[in-house]
Amino acid sequence: MTSKISAQNVQVFYGDNHAIKDVNVEIADHEVTAFIGPSGCGKSTFLRTINRMNDTIDICRVTGDIRIDGEDIYDPKVDPVQLRAKVGMVFQKPNPFPKSIYDNVAYGPKIHGLAQDKAALDEIVENALRKAALWNEAKDRLDAPGTGLSGGQQQRLCIARAIATAPEVLLMDEPCSALDPIATAQVEELIDELRQSFSVVIVTHSMQQAARVSQKTAFFHLGNLVEFDDTDKIFTNPEDPRTESYISGRIG
Amino acid sequence: MTRSLLNVDARTAKRNASEKRFRGYGLAAIFVAVLALIMLMTSILTAGLSAFQQTYITIDVALPEDQLDKSGVRDPAAMAKVTTIRYAKVLKQALLAQLEAEGITTTLSDKDVAKILSKEAAATVRSRVLANPDLIGTTIRIELLASGRIDGFYKGRVTMASAALDGNTSPEALQLVEQLAERGWVETKFNWAFLTAPDASDQRPEAAGLGVAILGSLYMMFVVLFLALPIGVAASVYLEEFAPKNRWTDIIEVNIANLAAVPSIVYGILGLAIFINFAQLNQSSPLVGGLVLTLMTLPTIIISTRAALKSVPPSIRDAALGVGASKMQSVFHHVLPLAAPGILTGTIIGLAQALGETAPLLLIGMVAFVREYPAAYTSDAGLFGEASTALPVQVFNWTQRADPAFVERASGAIITLLVFLLFMNAIAIYLRRRFERRW
């Protein structure tokens, strides 16, 4: 099976701090890949290299080779704006724009010129909200401010916003850490459905969540990718002793 | 044995006492502040509110042709040659005739009787006649300014006792005016002229108004708003969102903070050197005043704009970048609108600061005595290029005049200035409330 995202010898530095050390990983299409590991192990940092969100941090430097569909995304010819339309992102804290629900979802398609007219835009918004399982709750109040929704609804709105630009990869940085168990269950269910359309990469602190939603799991520790394998294998029969310690709760 | 919760131990008692003391200090501080405010307001209001009232004397003035237009052909050029001295004589005759008609007798000389009218009165009649030459030969009923002393008598500033010691008026003159008032010829009413009329010379405080000063201040505010807001916001957005964080931007940042603390008179010297001596712009013009105040206001606007931009949560920037907005789109679509209330508040406070600024304007010649309303644009002087004065400078100017009537004018001008400032601050508060959004 060919991989969607291929990372070779990736190193990330924050100033003098070597945050990611020589990571190699192959992420497949239509699969959910979970990154787990203790706080500060670099899993979020690595996630943010995939859509070059780290570019916004002045002191951050990335070396190595990250390819999406075989194209080097750190090539000088690549515009990060186009990259981020192709690689959507959902953040840890729900961060809807302080605008209406409709405008939140429509913003991405608008700036990328994905809709020719109002009707097409309406359709994109509806589809995105449906995929994010928010349509039924939001269809009667598309003009209401997105910030007025509950936490779980806000996060699903952010997912709708991310998928409205028709990305091919969806990055999720601890999307459920600010949510209660019911909202978490809804988002997890959603992630499983999103797998049909996208390659999903999710960073999570919860090992149960990684076990529930992902097909592949990567365990990071102190900036190293310790182990990367099928989720079942990682949780039942890890090869590295550090992985075993972590999933059994002895470290981290 | 356990300690009882019903007894307050020494430590807790001490802690409670110190908290009580602290609250006492706080209350005392507030009390002092409120007291100072009340004292300030009382002093200004008692001294200045009367400036908004003015005493007028109504007179029937006969306008004889043989004195005001000897040629009889109503030639404007010839009529304009008749000076206010001639009109003053006509007025004196009219006033004496009126006293006689009302049966009022006085021991005053004719010259002293004429002194109950303002020196401005002759000019008022003259300009009325020049504007409408057909009035000559008729008798017009006209409301004329009473002199400053008479006006002061109706405002309580001049009393019979003080008039007895005064070279410019006398108890007899006051009694004369009282008799006129009994017959309904004297009226004290709201003084619109104070807000519209230009400044007047030392001898006629009753005619002095803020028209030119308000216009000049307004022009300067336009200049400041249209220069300082765009430049300030552009500079802040660049520094906050786009500039690399290195030693140079640090130096710029420190210097902007320092500029905000530079005494305003220094900006006046700078303006004199650069805008007037070097760039040869017109002295005393609102354009130069506005440019100087722009320089002075910029640091305030930049600092408050940067604070407003900083307070926009980074998650909004992440969200915008995350859906593929460019840096500029994320700033202009999301960050700036969220920062707008803060930016507007800062700008209005900066403008209010500029409105009340005096020192730099003194140095660029805005302290001049200006009686002509400055035009916003003339082909000679350019945009905002005509000589003008400004509200705070007018206050400064009037406090230096000898006649006590100017004290009242100066306080009245301060009240006007304060009303403008309160109005601007109210707008700032309204905008902040109106556009403040939560996330």
Question: For chain B, what is the HEC assignment?
Answer: CCCCCCCCCHHHHHHHHHHHHHHHHHHHHHHHHHHHHHHHHHHHHHHHHHHHEEEEEEEEEECCHHHHCCCCCCCHHHHHCCCHHHHHHHHHHHHHHHHHHHCCCCCCCHHHHHCCECCHHHHHHHHHHHHCHHHCCCEEEEEEEECHHHHHHHCCCCCHHHHHCCCCCCHHHHHHHHHHHHCCCEEEEECHHHHHCCCCCCCCHHHCCCHHHHHHHHHHHHHHHHHHHHHHHHHHHHHHHHCCCCHHHHHHHHHHHHHHCCCHHHHHHHHHHHHHHHCCCCCCCHHHHHHHHHHHHHHHHHHHHHHHHHCCCHHHHHHHHHCCCCHHHHHHHHHHHHHHHHHHHHHHHHHHHHHCCCHHHHHCCCCCCCCCCCCCEECCCEECCCCCCCHHHHHHHHHCCCCCHHHHHHHHHHHHHHHHHHHHHHHHHHHHHHHCCCC
Q: What is the largest CA-CA distance in chain A?
A: 57
Query: Which bin fits B156, alpha (ψ -120 to 50), beta or left (φ > 0)?
Result: left
CB B117 within 8 A of CB B371: no
Where are the domains positioned within chain A? 3-98+168-247
User: Rounded distance, CA B188 to CA A85, Å?
Assistant: 74
Instruction: Kindly provide the ipTM of the predicted complex, given to two decimals.
Output: 0.87
- pLDDT-derived band at B65 (thresholds 50, 70, 90) equals confident
In tens, the pLDDT along B228-250 reads 999 999 999 999 989 888 899 99
- Interface mutation vs chain A, best among B323, B331, B336, B436, most A CBs within 10 Å: B323
- B321 contacts in A (CB within 8 Å)? 53, 56, 84
Chain A residue at shortest CA distance from B314: A95
What are phi and psi for residue B393, nearest 5 degrees?
-70, -35
User: Rounded distance, CA B287 to CA B381, Å?
Assistant: 10
CB A248 within 8 A of CB A43: no
Whether B436 contacts chain A with CB within 8 A: no
Q: What is the pLDDT of residue A203?
A: 94
User: Rounded distance, CA A18 to CA A1, Å?
Assistant: 32
Instruction: Give the three-class secondary structure for A72.
Output: strand
- Work out the burial of residue A134: count CB atoms within 10 Å of its CB; fewer than 13 is exposed, 13-18 middle, 19 or more buried: buried
Rg (CA), chain B: 30
- pLDDT-derived band at B121 (thresholds 50, 70, 90) equals very high
Q: What is the pLDDT of residue B371?
A: 85
Q: What is the mean pLDDT of residues B322-329?
A: 90
In tens, the pLDDT along B155-191 reads 988 999 998 898 888 999 999 999 999 998 999 999 9
- Shortest Cα distance, chain B CAs vs residue A139, angstroms: 22
pLDDT at B434 over 90: no
Where are the domains positioned within chain B? 52-191, 211-435
pLDDT at B225 over 80: yes
- Shortest Cα distance, chain B CAs vs residue A247, angstroms: 31
- Which of A:63-82 have CB within 8 Å of B? 81-82
Q: What is the pLDDT of residue B76?
A: 83
- B319 contacts in A (CB within 8 Å)? 91, 95-97, 158, 161
pLDDT at B111 over 80: yes
- pLDDT-derived band at B258 (thresholds 50, 70, 90) equals very high
Q: What is the pLDDT of residue B437?
A: 61
User: Rounded distance, CA A197 to CA A216, Å?
Assistant: 17
Q: Classify domain B211-435 by CATH architecture.
A: Orthogonal Bundle (1.10)
Asked if A56 lies within 8 A of B317 by C-beta distance, the reply is yes
**Least confident window among A13-17, B270-274, B308-312, B431-435:** B431-435
Q: What is the pLDDT of residue B1?
A: 60
CB B285 within 8 A of CB B387: yes
Nearest CA among B194, B399, B199 for reference residue B284 = B199
pLDDT at B439 over 60: no
Q: How far is C-alpha B403 from the geometric centre of its chain's CA atoms?
A: 20
CA atoms within 13 A on the CB side of A132: 29
| Token pair 């049909």: residue | A196
- Interface mutation vs chain B, best among A111, A124, A177, most B CBs within 10 Å: A111
Q: What is the mean pLDDT of chain B?
A: 90
| Token pair 């995105």: residue | A128
User: Rounded distance, CA B34 to CA B37, Å?
Assistant: 5
pLDDT at B438 over 80: no
User: Rounded distance, CA A147 to CA B334, Å?
Assistant: 14
Q: What is the mean pLDDT of residues B351-358?
A: 92
Q: Which DSSP state fits A201?
A: E
- pLDDT-derived band at B70 (thresholds 50, 70, 90) equals confident
Q: What is the CATH number of domain A3-98+168-247?
A: 3.40.50.300
Residue-by-residue pLDDT tens, chain A, 252 positions: 568 899 999 999 998 889 888 899 999 889 999 999 888 888 889 999 998 988 888 888 899 999 999 889 998 899 988 899 899 999 988 999 999 999 999 999 999 988 889 999 999 999 999 988 889 888 899 999 998 898 889 999 999 999 999 899 999 998 888 888 888 888 898 898 888 888 999 999 888 899 999 999 999 988 899 999 999 999 999 999 999 888 888 765
| Dihedral over alpha carbons A211, A217, A222, A223 (to 10 degrees) | -150
